[in-house]
Structure 1
């Protein structure tokens, strides 16, 4: 009976993996990651799942079965996990079991939780347990990016942690290459493993460009030689924020359309928190330009290369004002550039971090018990960037999506009413630049400002000053027109006090002198996002009832 059951299981698995093989492996073309078999774009919309800390076990397996965690990932709109690993797990601890790892760290309660929720893993080696997590993700059709996060298993990162750059105390380049070879070879027959990231956040006093070129080339060649099917992901310097130096000296790799670059972006990278609160427009404009100069340039120009924003995140309790402003700024750029991305992080807690047992991860998507989404507004805010907004194989004419980054909502029209809604669908708009109308495509309607505090209307009067729109702030977030008295009014949506989805025009906040502004301007942050996606909603309008008002 058991033998027959195993045969059935094997048949199911073979069918499943054959199905995956139809979609994967992935490749690159013209700045995008694509499904190699169809040529259609495959957008990585990932969440980071840590497995690189001292226990060397994917976090949360004491809280929930691995398969349930994988299912939860999919149900929240993610198609990918960036699964971290430590070099030493494969080069020094490959025979250590899960039980032995937890026992040596005196994590008795964690062991009991793993026994309850993932009992089969306890007597498995750490490497086998890691593979089982990958299999559970693959079973749920989740792509996996294997990220070499650190060498010595521990929390990352600091300048003096001995793991920052080639030649540091715990970062032996030869052992690192050995680890890459082991991992690339071990998982070469796993179709769900679509990419390998060579190293997380290179940093510290030893970092230099010459060694970067030398070892990145060796690492990429090592991975590609062992598994030519996976994408090879390359990070830069300064905690993974800076790739600007390759403008002058491109990386010479022969990877047959497998090269992807990665970058990280957090609110604290360059600016102290108070700056976000004091000058949100200017800081957002500066940070956006910095990101473009140091990484975003890769997807622009004549020879674009895919860029994976492999880490960004915020305090998901919603209590950090700087993070809240930063997230709106970041999501606007991610949507504008239609980047592949990975949110930090999935885990709501850790087994052991910096000597503390069971600490909470406030940047975690899940709560500390791994039961619920910590902040549903974060998931809601990701809806637009979870979509493929631009695809070279699409035959749809370019249009704009009107996007409200603070909420993650898109502006839709139905029966001549403009309102904010989720970004599962949206209305299409056309816009030809400063001082021109914003038109609802497929109709004769355009936006018109009629007064401070009043809803913006749709009108066929598209030649008046009230229908001529421009961006009014340094970060190009506020969209403004003049009312009949010549006063600038900005689009605004603030659902909290009124519980209304209506879009208003109100006096522009903070656009002239931020130093004298004490209001949160994000209710007026709007972006026009270029798209050729088919995911729009056809508006229901009655042209016969149009007016010039």
Structure 2
């Protein structure tokens, strides 16, 4: 089974190009009369655009939080080709990941970002880094060795805007690396590689301000015992959401929970945020309660009982989309921002994949499958790592499982995605 992925605490959604180039410059996206009809707000269980229409995301995760700290796959295909591939089956969104380390390095370098030549050689070594960069430049001729990492993100955002695909930015890690486990130093506020001040600074930076994850910091027993709880989660969540909203009041902010973001129960039910007695209160998010969305992850790939799987999702957070449920204290839109499975001939027909798809369609809930990537620049120390869960094949040229795309994925997109 695939290693459990990290669950970011807060995310944001932005829906137009030029997201990254204005680092350290304050701005607000204008209200738009055409697509994407932004800014978005929440209304009960739904996300609404400026036309009052529901917005439902149907997309894939595009990783960029690894050691190179740019989105994967560009040594094999152009940005335009990858985005077009997603658009061709009706996807309308990407969840684009990045690391806070990227922002930290910019601050440390007097506001100047790292060029691709440095990013690749530091991550892959001088020989391999130079060779892979050459392939990236050949596939993406608008880039040069001096192109910065943020300019690559900017180019992806621009292409997505051109093809009318939403961009959901996700602060996946603090340190640029493969995610994740409970001993990687990125697990919890004030963990070894999770400096809260840097995190908050990163949320307010002009990288358009996403946030973080929640998993047990097993490498730090004292931190785990004293801080890994809902009470501290709430304290830091309010700090992070305030930073995001002050930086740009038009952005949606996604809240994630504990245990690798598999549960948000006390938030939805309004029960005590233990070990304290405080409860989640929308009034604590003054002026932007209509910008908050919940997210969950699920990797219960061995599930054989669909009713149990769906019941667990309901109890762990999807109850927030059931305002008539007597136990629902806080109503939110909920997205399944990570789920996935091996892209082989049979896995997509098993209980896990079919049950989740049925659930998403029934609820009209948004989702991002893990993962688009057919391979990684480097993962766990292995360069050009094969991703068997990837929708795309190793060289990102075609779907890894055409049977799943045609028989499972496209029906899921058509059953959920807003036009």
TM-score strictly above 0.5: yes
2:240 matched to which residue of 1?
Answer: 219
Q: How does 1:413-428 map to 2 (within 5 A)?
A: none
**Aligned with residue 296 of structure 2, among 260, 263, 271:** 263
2:409 matched to which residue of 1?
Answer: 382
Counterparts in 2 of 1:314 and 1:102: CA distance versus 1, 3 Å: same
Counterparts in 2 of 1:389 and 1:53: CA distance versus 1, 3 Å: closer
The range that moved more, 89-98 or 224-233, is: 89-98
2:135 paired with 1:124: no
| Secondary structure at the counterpart of residue 134 of structure 1 | helix
Q: Is the 8 A contact 2:41 2:48 kept in 1?
A: yes
Q: Is the 8 A contact 2:335 2:367 kept in 1?
A: yes
Q: Is the 8 A contact 1:43 1:388 kept in 2?
A: no
2:265 matched to which residue of 1?
Answer: 244
Residue 128 of structure 1 and its aligned partner are, at CA, apart by 2.0
Aligned residues: CA RMSD:
2.3
1:48 matched to which residue of 2?
Answer: 61
Residue 137 of structure 1 and its aligned partner are, at CA, apart by 1.4
| Secondary structure at the counterpart of residue 73 of structure 1 | helix
Q: Is the 8 A contact 1:149 1:200 kept in 2?
A: yes
Residue 92 of structure 1 and its aligned partner are, at CA, apart by 1.4
Q: Is the 8 A contact 2:57 2:417 kept in 1?
A: no
**Aligned with residue 38 of structure 2, among 24, 41, 52:** 24
Residue 142 of structure 1 and its aligned partner are, at CA, apart by 0.9
Residue 301 of structure 1 and its aligned partner are, at CA, apart by 2.1
> C-alpha separation between the residues in 2 aligned to 1:286 and 1:227?
40
Q: Is the 8 A contact 2:69 2:99 kept in 1?
A: yes
| Secondary structure at the counterpart of residue 291 of structure 1 | helix
**Aligned with residue 200 of structure 2, among 160, 168, 177:** 177
1:98 matched to which residue of 2?
Answer: 116
| Secondary structure at the counterpart of residue 357 of structure 1 | strand
> C-alpha separation between the residues in 1 aligned to 2:82 and 2:34?
20
1:312 matched to which residue of 2?
Answer: 339
2:157 paired with 1:157: no
Report Cα offsets for 1:367-417 as digits up to 9, x if no partner. 0011101112332313343246699xxxxxxxxxxxxxxxxxxxxxxxxxx
2:399 matched to which residue of 1?
Answer: 373
1:329 matched to which residue of 2?
Answer: 355
| Secondary structure at the counterpart of residue 371 of structure 1 | coil
Q: Is the 8 A contact 2:92 2:417 kept in 1?
A: no
**Aligned with residue 101 of structure 2, among 85, 88, 91:** 88
Max radius of gyration: which structure?
1
| Secondary structure at the counterpart of residue 257 of structure 1 | helix
**Aligned with residue 33 of structure 1, among 20, 44, 47:** 47
> C-alpha separation between the residues in 2 aligned to 1:378 and 1:139?
27
2:211 paired with 1:198: yes
> C-alpha separation between the residues in 1 aligned to 2:372 and 2:234?
32
2:175 paired with 1:139: no
> C-alpha separation between the residues in 2 aligned to 1:45 and 1:266?
18
Counterparts in 2 of 1:359 and 1:174: CA distance versus 1, 3 Å: same
Report Cα offsets for 1:483-524 as digits up to 9, x if no partner. xxxxxxxxxxxxxxxxxxxxxxxxxxxxxxxxxxxxxxxxxx
Counterparts in 2 of 1:45 and 1:124: CA distance versus 1, 3 Å: same
2:403 paired with 1:357: no
2:73 matched to which residue of 1?
Answer: 60
Q: Is the 8 A contact 1:197 1:234 kept in 2?
A: no
Residue 202 of structure 1 and its aligned partner are, at CA, apart by 3.7
Counterparts in 2 of 1:103 and 1:22: CA distance versus 1, 3 Å: closer
1:108 matched to which residue of 2?
Answer: 130
| Secondary structure at the counterpart of residue 53 of structure 1 | coil
> C-alpha separation between the residues in 2 aligned to 1:287 and 1:41?
26
Q: Is the 8 A contact 1:204 1:238 kept in 2?
A: no
| Secondary structure at the counterpart of residue 350 of structure 1 | strand
1:456 matched to which residue of 2?
Answer: none
> C-alpha separation between the residues in 1 aligned to 2:61 and 2:34?
21
The range that moved more, 87-96 or 171-180, is: 87-96
Residue 304 of structure 1 and its aligned partner are, at CA, apart by 2.3
> Structure 1 unaligned runs (5+)?
1-16, 188-195, 392-534, 536-549
Q: How does 1:487-502 map to 2 (within 5 A)?
A: none
Q: Is the 8 A contact 2:210 2:244 kept in 1?
A: no
Q: Is the 8 A contact 1:198 1:232 kept in 2?
A: no
Residue 133 of structure 1 and its aligned partner are, at CA, apart by 1.6
Highest RCO, 1 vs 2 (Cα 8 Å, sep ≥ 6): 2
Residue 291 of structure 1 and its aligned partner are, at CA, apart by 1.4
Query: Which one has a larger percent helix, Structure 1 or Structure 2?
Result: 2
**Aligned with residue 254 of structure 2, among 233, 246, 250:** 233
Q: Is the 8 A contact 1:90 1:127 kept in 2?
A: no
Report Cα offsets for 1:178-227 as digits up to 9, x if no partner. 11111xx344xxxxxxxx65324544342211210011111111111111
| Equivalent residue pairs, number | 353
> Structure 2 unaligned runs (5+)?
1-30, 107-111, 219-223, 272-278, 325-329
Q: Is the 8 A contact 1:147 1:200 kept in 2?
A: no
1:527 matched to which residue of 2?
Answer: none
Per the normalisation by structure 2, the TM-score is 0.79
1:509 matched to which residue of 2?
Answer: none
